[in-house]
Structure 1
Amino acid sequence: MLHLRAICPAERTDAVLAALKAEPGVTHVVLLRGAAVDPVGDVVEADVAREATDQVVASLCDLGVDRDGGVTLEQIDTALSDAADRAEEAAPGDGADAVVWEELLARTGEESRLNATFLSFLTIACLLTAVAVVTDSPVTLVGAMVVGPEFGPLAAISVGLVLRRWDLVRRAALALAAGFPVAMLITAVGTWLGSRTGLFDPDLALAGHELDFVFEVGPFSLIVALLAGAAGMLSMTSAKSAALVGVFISVTTVPAAGYAAVAAVLGQWDICLQSIAQLAVNLVGVVVAAALVLALRNRRGQVRDLGRPLGNG
């Protein structure tokens, strides 16, 4: 279940309570009159079954609560209540299959920002890939996959395409378009310094070894990217968030970028170009599959207009 808190003008409180009571998936309704200071108003709290959340939020936004007050949602890890059990049973569908569109939009919007944290993680992931390449270490490569933050913007592009939120698409595309070149450039500089200082032997760095699959583009590259994109979006739109770790490990987006930087410094342009092609295949495959999964879950009439601009915080 999700915990909902709404701050609403006093003159709309009765309408908000009526909207909550009309939804069978809502329970534990609490009213605190005059408790809100900024913005001024009443505070209404409730626990909502995940599969009923989207309809409840839509009802509150139709009353203007999002404009003149505020609506927040928090995940409830444990709820010991017969009333909560009845609410979940009464709500249509299954909680694991429900898509809370406002939650998804807020989450992908947050993860699609081009900022110092995103660039730092992406750069570290590419540098780890460079270390994995010159040491022929699959374990280090897996670490680079897990550290890489690129799935956030990829998911954001998919959400933006399905919901026609072009502002989200532009922001996520900018994060990827700026982030990968910066990370690859820093990785190239690090590789050049390592080769010049004797940290590794350039002649042996790209010799045939266990990591060649990173730049070997083939039909399975696209298949894996499609499956990873589908699994990632299913994870983000359900309560199965732990599956995202498997998604990170399965696709070679960051490894391909790091491999391309190393190959470019060492003058192996064929490997560099193959790695870039691998990167492109993975990026496109993940976005296409994630968008298709989300489109299939975007049933007619399920999504209201989510047209508010994305926040900057």
Structure 2
Amino acid sequence: MLHLRLIVPADLSDEVVELIGRTVGTAHVVVLAGAARSPVGDVVMCDVAREAGDELIGALREMGIDDCGSITVENMDLTLSKQADEAERAAPGESADAVLWEELSEVTHEESTFSATYVAFLAVATMLAACGVMLDNTILIVGAMAVGPEFGPLAGISTALVQRAPRLVARSLWALIGGFAAAMLLTAGFAWLMDAFGLFDAGMVTAHRPNTGFIWHPGWMSFVVALLAGVAGTLSLTSAKSGALIGVAISVTTVPAAANAAVAFSYQDFQQTWGSSEQLLANLGGIVLAGTLTLLIQKALWRTSRRAVNGR
């Protein structure tokens, strides 16, 4: 269930309550007349089944409640109520399959911001991966992939394409391209510093690396893995049953490929630099493609499900 808290102008309060009442899957409607002070208005609260939440939120936005008042949505972990159980049964579809597009847009917007913290996380992850490729250590590679925050802007691009939001596409692309450019530049400097201290050397780049050599040898399997990771990551964002992206991050080689490209470039090994760059681009492209297709399929299936229920 979702909990909605609305601040509504007094002259729209009855219309909002009526909208909530005729929306399938709602329960526990509360109206506090004149309770809001900033902005001034009534406070209207209700609970709604997740699978009916997107429709209700969309209708409230069409009324302009987000402009003249406010719409706050919270996920409820536990609701003990017979009325809530009946509301969830009445709502079409399954809650785990429902996509809250407003929530998804907000999450991906926040995760797609080019900020100092984002660049710091990506740079640290890339430096950690650089240590992993130089030492041929898969544990460090896995750790670096788990730390990397790059799935945020990748999901932002997919969401923006489906929602036809060009500004979010541009914002996410800037975070992705600018973030990796900064991280790779810092990692190249890190490699030079490690070489100065005698911890890295050119022989480590050209040495046979059975555990991490795949990073700069892209192939169709790299693209297939990226596609699967993109599907899993998108489902983890949209599903009510999953919110963790660490498992997805471990499935792809974006950060390690960027790290290997930066280190190889610092030692003028342009063959590895190019191979790693191809690996990076294949993974980024595969994730965006899979994420976009997953969202489109979810959107189509949900529309079909709702039409089937409404046509009964």
Is the pair's TM-score, using the shorter chain for normalization, greater than 0.5?
yes
Question: What residue is the counterpart of 2:24 in the other structure?
Answer: 24
- 1:78 aligned counterpart, secondary structure: coil
| C-alpha displacement of 1:202 | 2.9
Alignment of 1:140-159 (within 5 A): 140-159=140-159
Question: What residue is the counterpart of 1:285 in the other structure?
Answer: 286
Alignment of 1:220-235 (within 5 A): 220-235=221-236
Question: What residue is the counterpart of 2:95 in the other structure?
Answer: 95
Question: What residue is the counterpart of 1:56 in the other structure?
Answer: 56
Residue 14, structure 1, aligned to residue 14, structure 2: yes
Alignment of 1:161-240 (within 5 A): 161-209=161-209, 210-240=211-241
Q: Is the 8 A contact 1:135 1:205 kept in 2?
A: no
Residue identity opposite 1:141 in structure 2: I
Residue identity opposite 2:264 in structure 1: A
- In 2, the alpha carbon distance for the partners of 1:112 and 1:176 equals 8
Residue identity opposite 1:152 in structure 2: G
Q: Is the 8 A contact 1:31 1:42 kept in 2?
A: yes
Cα distance, 1:217–1:300 mapped onto 2, change above 3 Å: closer
- In 1, the alpha carbon distance for the partners of 2:204 and 2:151 equals 32
- In 1, the alpha carbon distance for the partners of 2:219 and 2:185 equals 26
Alignment of 1:249-268 (within 5 A): 249-268=250-269
- In 2, the alpha carbon distance for the partners of 1:245 and 1:138 equals 16
Residue identity opposite 2:111 in structure 1: E
Q: Is the 8 A contact 1:192 1:265 kept in 2?
A: yes
Question: Could you report, residue by residue, the CA deviation over 1:190-248 in whole angstroms, capped at 9, with x for unpaired residues?
Answer: 10010111123331244122111111101100000111111111111111324522211
Aligned residues between the structures: 302
Residue identity opposite 2:229 in structure 1: A
| C-alpha displacement of 1:62 | 2.2
Q: Is the 8 A contact 2:26 2:46 kept in 1?
A: yes
Q: Is the 8 A contact 1:214 1:275 kept in 2?
A: yes
Residue identity opposite 2:137 in structure 1: S
- In 2, the alpha carbon distance for the partners of 1:172 and 1:297 equals 22
Residue identity opposite 1:85 in structure 2: D
Structure 2 unmatched ranges of 5 or more? 304-312
Question: What residue is the counterpart of 1:135 in the other structure?
Answer: 135
- In 2, the alpha carbon distance for the partners of 1:88 and 1:141 equals 43
Question: What residue is the counterpart of 1:247 in the other structure?
Answer: 248
Structure 1 unmatched ranges of 5 or more? 303-313
- In 2, the alpha carbon distance for the partners of 1:157 and 1:280 equals 15
- 2:80 aligned counterpart, secondary structure: coil
| C-alpha displacement of 1:21 | 1.1
- 2:67 aligned counterpart, secondary structure: helix
Residue 37, structure 1, aligned to residue 37, structure 2: yes
Residue 74, structure 1, aligned to residue 65, structure 2: no
- In 2, the alpha carbon distance for the partners of 1:255 and 1:177 equals 16
RMSD: 1.4
| Sequence identity (%) | 50
Question: Could you report, residue by residue, the CA deviation over 1:125-162 in whole angstroms, capped at 9, with x for unpaired residues?
Answer: 10111111222211111111011111110111011111
Residue identity opposite 1:91 in structure 2: A
- In 1, the alpha carbon distance for the partners of 2:125 and 2:226 equals 18
Question: What residue is the counterpart of 1:116 in the other structure?
Answer: 116
| C-alpha displacement of 1:41 | 0.7
Residue identity opposite 1:104 in structure 2: L
- In 2, the alpha carbon distance for the partners of 1:110 and 1:265 equals 33
Residue 272, structure 1, aligned to residue 273, structure 2: yes
Question: What residue is the counterpart of 1:309 in the other structure?
Answer: none
Of 152-161 and 133-142, more deviation after overlay is shown by 133-142
Residue identity opposite 1:294 in structure 2: L
Question: What residue is the counterpart of 2:160 in the other structure?
Answer: 160
Residue identity opposite 2:203 in structure 1: D
Q: Is the 8 A contact 1:146 1:245 kept in 2?
A: yes
- 1:291 aligned counterpart, secondary structure: helix
